[in-house]
Amino acid sequence: MGNNREFNNISKKSIDMLINSTFKRHGVSLDKPQKITLKEKQELKNLVKELQKGVTSLTKTTKK
């Protein structure tokens, strides 16, 4: 259990660092959120669904 929790913490920190550096590189500030189009919202939803499927598939594969 400890390894799983440790892995999750490391993953979260890595993702946060990558997102923050990407935001800085492109001049994005969370203080002034930009509006996104309905098409962009749908694309993000589709991306999240695909990522969820991939994670579920990977989890099932590694448990076997």
**Model pLDDT for residues 4-63, shown as the tens digit of each residue:** 788 788 888 999 999 999 989 988 887 877 788 999 999 999 999 999 999 888 888 887
pLDDT, position 21: 93
pLDDT, position 2: 63
CB-CB contact of 18 with 25 (8 Å): no
- Phi, psi values for residue 36, rounded to 5°: -115, 155
Listed residue (31, 33, 9, 13) closest to 21, CA to CA: 13
What are the boundaries of each domain within the chain? Answer: 1-33, 34-64
More confident residue, 62 or 64: 62
- pTM recorded for the entire structure: 0.49
